[in-house]
């Protein structure tokens, strides 16, 4: 009886093994072996900065020819060249995408109306009456964004505003998700014009809370190409669909420096620049106080 049971089980196992082997041969989906090779050449960051769900998906798209090696934000120039050489294609060109913060209101220019004492995260502070800052839209400076960055591409500046290292940033979007104020956006580096403010209070009264806030004065609208900038929402908004029309003169007359022309990282200002901003803002502060 025992031998019969063993024989039956062995026979059933053999039948299933044969059926599985046949199914594997008949139903197997062929996959280009180059995909594995390209994946090995990728940094395995799986950051999603390229717009695809991980390095495997990027390898598949690169082999299929729908993306160029240059579209990986993490790869070095040598890595892009290696993949291009292996696939026999041009490495291509891609405009680097980085995280930008729409707030410049650090401790040196923004009023703190209350001291937050609690769990040291921006999310927790924002849940308590929006945080302790005078500006309800401003950066809280507790560094949730910095802690979320897995590429060491962010640090907190001396004034309590996060600074993005554009060379290390992969545009993974973790900081965008981490910020409870929604201050981060991903921008190609050729988006040179940037509004570093999200405040919606129109007029000079907002300068009591932040000296670099946008007052929706409209000077940037007048100095920019038609329809490039609007202040209809209460803060300057740039239509990046017209980005090719952007020019530095749109930011030159901004009385607070809320709109800037970037040629790299944000917050590369000097003490002289800060003094210039203070001098421009002072008449507006005096006017709002009278």
Mean pLDDT by 10 residues, the chain (290 residues): 74 78 71 90 89 92 92 89 92 91 95 91 92 93 96 94 94 95 96 96 92 96 97 94 96 96 79 45 45
Whole-model pTM: value is 0.77
* Residue 268, pLDDT score: 64
List, in sequence order, the alpha helices (H) in 97-143: 122-127
* Residue 216, pLDDT score: 95
Report the distance separating Cα 136 and Cα 103, nearest Å: 12
* Residue 28, pLDDT score: 67
- CA 132 distance to own-chain centroid: 25
Nearest to 138 by CA among 94, 190, 61, 201: 201
Sign of torsion over alpha carbons 222, 243, 227, 282: negative
* Residue 19, pLDDT score: 75
* Residue 227, pLDDT score: 96
* Residue 14, pLDDT score: 81
* Residue 5, pLDDT score: 73
Report the distance separating Cα 149 and Cα 243, nearest Å: 28
* Residue 289, pLDDT score: 43
Helix, strand, coil in percent for the chain, rounding step 5: 40, 10, 50
Which residue bears the tokens 């030159």? 252
Report the distance separating Cα 136 and Cα 117, nearest Å: 17
H or E stretch including 238?
strand 237-238
């Amino acid at each position: 009886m025992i031998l019969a049971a063993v024989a039956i089980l062995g026979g059933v196992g053999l039948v299933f093994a044969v059926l599985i082997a046949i199914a594997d041969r008949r139903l197997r989906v062929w996959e280009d072996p180059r995909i594995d090779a390209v994946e090995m050449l990728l940094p395995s960051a799986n950051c999603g900065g390229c717009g695809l769900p991980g390095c495997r998906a990027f390898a598949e798209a690169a082999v299929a020819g729908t993306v160029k090696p240059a579209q990986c934000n993490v790869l070095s120039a040598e890595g892009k060249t290696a993949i291009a050489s292996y696939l026999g294609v041009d490495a291509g060109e891609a405009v680097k995408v980085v995280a930008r913060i729409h707030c410049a209101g650090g401790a040196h220019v923004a009023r703190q109306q209350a001291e937050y004492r609690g769990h040291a995260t921006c999310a927790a502070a924002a849940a308590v009456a929006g945080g302790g800052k005078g500006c309800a839209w401003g950066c809280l400076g507790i560094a949730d964004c910095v802690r979320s960055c897995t590429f060491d591409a962010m640090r907190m500046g001396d004034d309590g505003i996060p600074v993005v290292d554009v060379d290390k940033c992969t545009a993974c979007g973790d900081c965008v998700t981490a910020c409870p104020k929604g201050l981060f956006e991903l921008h190609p580096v050729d988006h040179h014009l940037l509004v570093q403010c999200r405040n919606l209070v129109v007029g000079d009264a907002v300068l009591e809370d932040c000296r670099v806030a946008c007052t929706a004065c409209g000077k940037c609208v007048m100095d920019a190409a038609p329809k490039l900038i609007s202040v209809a929402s209460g803060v300057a908004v740039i239509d990046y669909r017209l980005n090719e029309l952007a020019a530095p003169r749109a930011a030159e007359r901004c009385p607070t420096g809320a709109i800037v022309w970037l040629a790299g990282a944000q917050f590369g200002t000097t003490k002289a620049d800060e003094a210039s901003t203070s001098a421009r803002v002072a008449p507006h502060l005096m006017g709002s106080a009278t």
